[in-house]
Structure 1
Amino acid sequence: MPLFYLLLVAAIQGITEFLPVSSSGHLILLPNLTGMEDQGQVIDVAAHVGTLFAVILYFWSDVRLGLLGTPNMLRGKLDDPGAKLAALLAVGTIPVILFGLVLKLTGLDDMLRGIVVIGWTMLIFGLVLYWADQKGPTTKVASDWNWKDAIIMGLWQAVALIPGTSRSGITITAARYLGYARKDGAKLAMLMSIPTIIASGTLLGLEVASEANAALARDGAIVAVFSFIAALLALSLMMRLLKSVSFTPYVIYRVVLGLILLWIGYTA
């Protein structure tokens, strides 16, 4: 696969994974709009691995806290912050795993990978994000995260399996709806991405393991490294901007892109 195309995939995945604009939607659109060959699931897995390491590094103190608390969580001892965080992340991940299995077993996951579907989800969930961001109160911080909120955010996150929805976007929307401040809601959404990416990456990895060869492994390594760099930069920039900027710029992008895709989809 050409180096330029690999770098393009890595940049798109890295930049859009944690911004509320849908990385999967952009990756699906890339071959459709450029006419180039689909990068395939091996490259998609590699790109997700890169973004996974980026979010782990950026939120390492929280990740470390959850990891240290996991043994207590497994023993049912949730009286320390680390164990509670690990348990809340686990609870928030269950809906997306169950919904993902349903889509996979029914074949709906492939049926939803179309320009029209992505156009509608870009538009609709962009407007929902705007509504939640403008109307949602800012009474909660990340340390207020509780069982009810984890379940609600987990259910919203499951909807992101529909291409174009945006995993980070829909969980941030849920967080703002529940009253979390922008930066705290984004932080929770990013932490929720870790077990979700691990689960989806493991599933895809098992599916494509037999396809691996030296050339594909090299391409995957290139994509993983550059998606890590792009994701880390994008994540750092977004978290800094949220101190003074709302989610409106992302909403405008989603609405414009959604309308363009719908025009293409219905006129092609």
Structure 2
Amino acid sequence: MIQDFIEIIILSAVQGISEFLPISSSAHLIIVSNLYDLKASSLLIDISLHLGSLLAIIFFFKKDLFDLKHNQKLLKLIIIGSIPLIIFGYIFHSTELIHLLRNVKVIAWTTLFFGVILYFADQRKIDQNISTNLNIRSIIFIGLFQILALIPGVSRAGITMTAARFLNFNRVDSGKISFLLSIPALAGASFLGLKDISSETIEMNLLVIIAIILSFLFSYLTVKFFLNYLNKFSLNIFVIYRIIIALVLLSIIYF
């Protein structure tokens, strides 16, 4: 039980921190689970971790979400921007194509390539913001980029921020767009996971509850930190981190 609890702490930290930073949560969960052969990792735990992150982002942006009833335009844009990922996510999941991409070699190359792309996107100097510049054309562009997040190592947060920065949105609003788009994405991931275990007995045991709570806490703190960070700094530290991780993985694979 102690071992399981320690593993849940590790998985919750990895999920909560990497879900909202541009470094890919799926890649980190795969790497950590393989590296340490975590026994606590399971589909139910995975759903619990995503649920914790979903609850955290809803709680953090509760005021913004309540305000959506007075801002129908933004609500419609978030829905429209989420449609491409929902469609392709279902196709990838139902055809099990997504499982073919869950390997370290894919993660290494995507982590490197999309890290470099993030760097060039973040060099944009012209600022645009959500309230005046987010429209159907821009949200569809970001939504199409978000499809790439189905590939481990790309990072949903990273690719949506990359797309938003290419469109000249400032860093903070790029982060907010990414966070708002994460709500349908996390909800969809949780739904597909529940669909997979619908024929099994779901036992709401202590580990599941702990996974939800810890994932919530790590996710909430990460979102709060990241928005403050974006107010002051560039995304270079995450680009460097991605390149280092990629080079380490590639050296292990090829040497």
Same fold (TM over 0.5): yes
* CA deviation map 1:97-134 (0-9, x unaligned): 11112212332111100001001111111110001001
- Deviation larger for 196-205 or 13-22: 196-205
Which residue identity does 1:3 align to in structure 2? Answer: F
Corresponding residue number in structure 2 for 1:252: 240
Corresponding residue number in structure 1 for 2:155: 166
**For the residues of structure 2 that align with 1:114 and 1:120, how far apart are their CA atoms?**
11
**For the residues of structure 2 that align with 1:145 and 1:251, how far apart are their CA atoms?**
25
SS at match of 2:168: coil
Corresponding residue number in structure 2 for 1:53: 55
Structure 1: 4+ residue segments shifted above 4 A = none
**For the residues of structure 2 that align with 1:33 and 1:146, how far apart are their CA atoms?**
43
Which residue identity does 1:240 align to in structure 2? Answer: N
Q: Which runs of 5+ in 1 are unaligned?
A: 69-80
Corresponding residue number in structure 2 for 1:101: 90
Kindly state the Cα deviation for residue 38 of structure 1 after the two structures are TM-superposed. 6.6
Corresponding residue number in structure 2 for 1:205: 194
- Deviation larger for 46-55 or 138-147: 138-147
Corresponding residue number in structure 2 for 1:145: 134
Is the Cα contact below 8 Å between 1:116 and 1:266 reproduced in 2? no
Corresponding residue number in structure 1 for 2:220: 232
* CA deviation map 1:80-104 (0-9, x unaligned): x521111111111111111112212
**For the residues of structure 2 that align with 1:170 and 1:138, how far apart are their CA atoms?**
19
SS at match of 2:122: helix
Is the Cα contact below 8 Å between 1:51 and 1:232 reproduced in 2? yes
Is the Cα contact below 8 Å between 1:137 and 1:177 reproduced in 2? no
Kindly state the Cα deviation for residue 213 of structure 1 after the two structures are TM-superposed. 4.2
Correspondence 1:208-223 to 2 at 5 A: 208-214=197-203, 217-223=205-211
Corresponding residue number in structure 2 for 1:190: 179
**For the residues of structure 2 that align with 1:64 and 1:84, how far apart are their CA atoms?**
14
RMSD: 1.5
Which of 34, 37, 48 in structure 1 is aligned with 2:36? Answer: 34
Q: Give the TM-score of the pair, scaled to structure 2.
A: 0.94
Count of matched residue positions in the alignment of Structure 1 and Structure 2:
252
Which residue identity does 1:14 align to in structure 2? Answer: G
